[in-house]
Structure 1
């Protein structure tokens, strides 16, 4: 069975409270349930993890190698600042899709740069919590395509 790991970074534990006009009213536990339930409908395993600490995120990315077939990563603000997380994704060699609740390209200019996009399979942004569903489906399709290549 395919296994996916959904990783959420800093401040995402505050979803539903933090700037709902930007990030929506969905909570992190709600998004985690959405991911698990959607993965189950696709007959795919799904684990979730959240941390506000860069090193913990890197440890999870490294541990995904050999444990999970793909990663869905919302690194929050680390997207725009962390070369270390970019290097972790590159070195783990686990297909990764970058997700953002808001459209980062329509926001402040510093959010337009994504270090992750340089090593991710793709990026989904601006669709709120539904972006995670899109990422699960996209990652499953990517893995199936890679298997037949």
Structure 2
């Protein structure tokens, strides 16, 4: 099973920036723990502050990955191009946000991505990524059971 985590702008600063919102742990440290817990999964991680690189990664992985976990950061609220990229690929995408975007500034309440994703997880900190991964694992098991 192949799952790709894609993080957008400023998420490279997790553990350093706005710790009261995003926590004290770096994503790299969290990702190492997530990989250790799920050794039988091909789990990869990509981060970019550049919108076009995120789109390119979606295009690159979006026809072979069993699932994509996407935290597009601020692009969530601005990028029709990312929404179009999600629509163009066949891999299911789960939208994840570390903070509760609905408890923050009003401009963060709208996502151009949500309607193109299989679901949205927000406000649960880094554990949102684990929950998204669990969703894809459970979906795989359910799909296997239906085929049997």
TM-score for the superposition, normalised by structure 2: 0.92
Structure 2 residue aligned with 1:141, among 138, 141, 144? 138
Secondary structure in 2 aligned to 1:88?
Answer: helix
1:95 to 92, 103, 121: 92
**Residue of structure 2 in register with 1:122 after alignment:** 119
Shift of the alpha carbon at 1:146? 4.8
After superposing the two structures, state which structure 1 stretch, 59-68 or 136-145, moved more.
136-145
TM-score normalised by structure 1 residue count = 0.91
1:24-43 equivalences under 5 Å are 24-40=23-39, 43=40
Q: Which consecutive unaligned segments of at least 5 residues does structure 1 have?
A: none
Give the root-mean-square deviation of aligned CA atoms: 1.5
SS at match of 1:25: coil
After superposition, the C-alpha distances for 1:55-102 in whole angstroms (9 at most, x for unaligned) are: 000011011133311100000000111010111011012101011111
User: Paired residue for 1:105, among 86, 102, 107?
Assistant: 102
Q: What is the rounded CA distance, in whole Å, between the counterparts of 1:3 and 1:141 in structure 2? A: 14
Aligned residues: 146
CA–CA separation in structure 2 for the residues paired with 1:71 and 1:133: 12
